[in-house]
Structure 1
Amino acid sequence: MAQAEVVLDLKGLKCPLPVMRTRRHLRSCTAGTIILVETTDPLAVIDLPHFCQQEGHRLLESQPRAEGHAFLIEKSTAAEATTAPQI
């Protein structure tokens, strides 16, 4: 896997928490930030790629691991412009 700036250890969390925590973390990142998301949730292999596609982030890599799955995600500039402000 390529080098990540941040590692999100989401192992042990079940759907929908991996996507929700990834979304929350990416909101605080600048465009171009690369994060590594580690999860054991079997549905994450469907949910996180779908999340990236819907939100406009780039899924750089997706890799199975003995303890789950790892995703390398780059926050897109388009996602930064379309993210609604928190109230």
Structure 2
Amino acid sequence: MTTPDPTETLDVTGENCPMPVVKTKQAIEGLESGAVLEVLATDAGSMSDLQGWAEATPGVELLEQVEGDGRYTHYVRKA
């Protein structure tokens, strides 16, 4: 799978639950429809937290999650 080309990047490294989800929600609200938000996190819980949030939130789609070197990168599209 090709990594999506982000419209914006949100850096929440060093933040713990629930802040990655809270800040992602705030950032997504400010984007145009079709935009892709890249979220950079260091909280391992962000993998399941962002997935659950995206599944429960109409108008957003979790495109991909990448884990490596203690960092978690999430790509979320605003519908």
CA contact (8 A) 2:35 2:78 kept: yes
For residue 52 of structure 1, the aligned residue among 54, 60, 76 is: 54
* 1:13 partner SS: coil
Q: Which letter does structure 1 place at the counterpart of 2:69?
A: A
Quote the Cα distance in structure 1 between the aligned partners of 2:75 and 2:68: 13
Alignment RMSD (CA, Å): 0.9
Alpha-carbon distance, 1:27 to partner: 0.9
State, as a whole percentage, how many aligned pairs show the same letter: 24
Quote the Cα distance in structure 1 between the aligned partners of 2:50 and 2:15: 13
Unaligned runs of 5+ in 2: none
Unaligned runs of 5+ in 1: 77-87
Task: Name the structure 2 match of 1:18.
Answer: 20
CA contact (8 A) 2:4 2:36 kept: no
Find runs of 4+ consecutive structure 1 residues off by over 3 angstroms.
none
| Mapping 1:5-84, distance limit 5 Å | 5-56=7-58, 57-76=60-79
TM-score, reference length from structure 1: 0.82
Alpha-carbon distance, 1:59 to partner: 0.8
Greater share of residues in helix: 1
TM-score, reference length from structure 2: 0.90
